[in-house]
Amino acid sequence: MKKKRSGRGTSRDNKASAAIAGLPVAKNDEVIIDIMGMNHDGEGVGRADGYTLFVQGALPGEKARVKVLKTKKQYGYAKLLELVETSPNRITAPCPIYNQCGGCQLQHMDYAAQLEWKRQLVVDNLERIGKLQVQGGTAEVGMKDEFREQSTSEYSNEGVIVHPTLGMSEPWRYRNKSQVPIGVTEGGLVGGFYARGSHRIIDMETCLIQHEQNDAVVSRVKAIGRKLGITAYNEETGQGLLRHVVVKIGFATGEMMIVLVTNGDRIPQVDEWIAEIRKELPAVVSICQNINTRQTNVIFGDVTRVLWGREVIHDYIGDVKFAISARSFYQVNPAQTEILYGKTVEYAGLTGNETVIDAYCGIGTISLFLAQHAKKVYGVEIVKEAIEDARSNAELNGMKHVEFEVGASEDVIPRWKAQGVEVDVIVVDPPRKGCDPRLLETILEMQPERVVYVSCNPSTLARDLRVLEDGGYRAVEVQPVDMFPHTTHIENVALLVRN
């Protein structure tokens, strides 16, 4: 029988491999490093003899003893063992499962410091990726110059203003939608969030960034499921029924919807499910089932049916009313959404005489906000169901000067131009991958006076601003808005004007 290698032998092998690769540290080494900054995932960034290590849970300005977990040619990952010196921005995370759950990344950081870091993250991306000069000097995000890939000599001459991040006075309990994966343990049905970097479910009764009502609904639905003997879906075997419980609430109306995502058409004892939910949760006005039989980690399948109640719930952003269906996209933080859209209207410079195009319009949230201040608004979106919702929402608000069309923006907008549509402002709110290159070309051909870019990803925002700048526009200002406190995500609204 082969002898098991001792820890010392393994360590010697690690050292040898590191030496051959020219690395100053090896796996399982313990070193003390200074944390100089954070990367976009919220991991602390430090150096051991010039070699970069990313450390989950470490904050800029701290000195930490860490254990090396994994090494690559340019960088490695390490585990935080002990804080030798602590940042003044460090706080105790209030969530009891914060260290296990992967939902939040920044609860250990003071909220004011989170807002500063998010702004600096935006500035760094604009300079490094977009080659844009930012007023107020070169961003550092706590990192040294060697982290930068290009010199500032390549930047444009004009400086873009990046405003302080607009945060929340009460940055908790802000989410109006909860998507909880369901699993099973020896104790029965569980539901919560995935552990960081895995698909292991951490059972959760309280989530401090979810609306309290969502917590209550998820808890009761799990209890009812256990009582009725409902099986949980198993990702590995593809067996079991209940995959996710999705809960939506209208902050302004209090109306709630439950969506049971199932691995199959039939729900055992469905009448008992509905009766129990109605009895225990009177705020629920809609119970839906979504069927997803594919072996995928995508939450929703193609078929949705109403089990009881209405097909939609309603909510307001400002004065605009929206109908929200089981699968329609709707911003999860309504308080900050109103601020984000208000800034979009401000940057659009609307006086009531303008014609506006809203590319990637979704269910018409931004379009209808703009329509309160514009002469005519055109919205375009590739998802057919979203356009149907957008048209319904326009009708719901009596807005007859808004027109929606299904298709890719880069195909539809040139057709509008050929039909004689002349626009003053184009608003884009693309997914994380940013704008399609053909859409950017279309914008440059249309030559609106203003472009307002709403972004959920600073790196693709910076890339696309560079394209628009090279095409004759000037990025004037960027407003970061904290839509997702205690996470690493940041939304931005950018204003560009035609030179």
The residues assigned a catalytic role are 456
Q: Is the dihedral of CA 300, 306, 311, 312 positive or negative?
A: negative
* DSSP string for 233-265: P-TTT---SEEEEEEEE-TTT--EEEEEEESSS
Q: In sequence order, what are the residues at sequence separation of 6 or more whose Cβ sits closer than 8 angstroms to the Cβ of residue 162? A: 119, 122, 123, 126, 134, 135, 136, 477, 478, 480
CB 357 within 8 A of CB 378: yes
Q: What tokens appear for 189 in the block? A: 């049905």
Question: Cα 13 from chain centroid?
Answer: 41
d(CA 43, CA 142): 12
| DSSP helix/strand/coil, 151 | coil
Supply the Cα-derived Rg of the chain in whole angstroms.
25
d(CA 84, CA 63): 5
Around 98, how many Cα atoms within 13 Å sit in the side-chain half-sphere?
18
CB 216 within 8 A of CB 223: no
Q: Is 18 left (phi over 0), alpha (psi -120 to 50) or beta?
A: alpha
* Enclosing H/E stretch for 478: strand 473-481
